[in-house]
Structure 1
């Protein structure tokens, strides 16, 4: 590459000086060679002295250019070494900046992914069975009147709208929970009342069975062969059953029936045995009835004083 072309490419001052010194040294070297090989030898001492002086001057110039070139080369070596050091430092800085840039890219991708995840995250409130948006606007028309949101629920007050819907849903659920607790309490009270009624009904069954047994024993006294049949409870079995079933829950009436039965038994024990010739026949009771029927003189009749059967 020619020196002119290099001078156009090189812009550093010390490099330009180095190139100029190198070109001058080259020129002196070529001139010295031309003089040494082209000039013919002469026998004239003066001419020989002149040629020697010319060669000496050319050598001196050449040596000076070479010395200058060496110093410039040495300075260039130091400059190159410094440039390499600066280049290494700059390269390290570039690598550090490049690494920082890669870290920033990584953080950017990470933050972008986090933002997308947050934007697409299915929040719990989005799954709540809230009342429809239109029904909410019917209850609270001020949201549309103030223009904070549109009919689709979008706008500057979208977050406040969702918060208001959640609070309204919480209020309604709180009221429903209180009603549920009240109904549950009422249910438990009714269950306890039903248990008590079942106990009363089971007790009533046992009382009814006892009464039926007592009624069967009472009906024995009402047989036609019994002299007390006409008086022992002027109320019949059917009537007695009706009255009993009607007033069975009345404790006083049950006590009265028991006392009446006891009084009837006691009255039967207090019956008077009498002999009467005016009565055509009697009502024998017991195992000795046949013997008394065969005796014409002694007829035993079972006559009860009605005053003894007064309750």
Structure 2
């Protein structure tokens, strides 16, 4: 018998019982019973039979004050809650999945989705899963809460409006274009950037389309809304500013490279980050290029964040820069001894 075939047979004989026992463990211990009802549009609204494990809340400590301040955070695939008064973790639940957009808080509830694209409503004080909705489509970006609705966007282009009280889907926007990043909510408008460069504003109350705008490139970075203005960039090497209520183009600026990284909005400046260590500043009111700064041997990718009247970069030195002129405010380098 071929040597490699013998090895494969031996590995199969050894590991097969392990996979079987693990599957038994998931089905017997981790599964939560439910009604088994299935809703329309490939959505399962209950805790019924599933090919995936059902995750439970693991309780560590009881909260001394049920209405006390609770800090949610994500670590190693788990969503934790931490009591600021007691200074101890209270509970956790495994979510895996998109840890860049792990949860959305509203009052005492946390709205999350897990690695299997299931949306949960969790009462953080009672440590109770109020409801779960199974969506058989890849969820993209953050969950949003508007009034008593939870809004969920999927890669396929569908956007679900879920009743936050009982988890029932009350409306579905059936877009045919792919979504590749988070949408935004401004007043009663849901601003959806589609991957093909189209931006659409839906009225959540009336469920009508208020306006559409077309750029000439892929959009894969979430837009930013500030002071009634919508800012976004596309893979047409252009950055845009629109009136968020009307969709009117206020200005666009050719920046010379595709906008594929998150950007920072200040009161008077917009800071863009590019590959090959380039930082560009635009005037917020006109889009005019104010300054450009270059760092050698650096690729900006989640190694920068905003501060108050400054922003920080890690290259690996820790540097604070002024958005006004790009000057270094301070620089710190940790030295090994």
TM-score norm. by structure 2 comes to 0.15
Q: Report the structure number with the largest CA radius of gyration.
A: 1
Structure showing greater relative contact order (alpha-carbon pairs closer than 8 Å, 6 or more residues apart): 1
* More strand as a share of residues: 2
TM-score norm. by structure 1 comes to 0.16
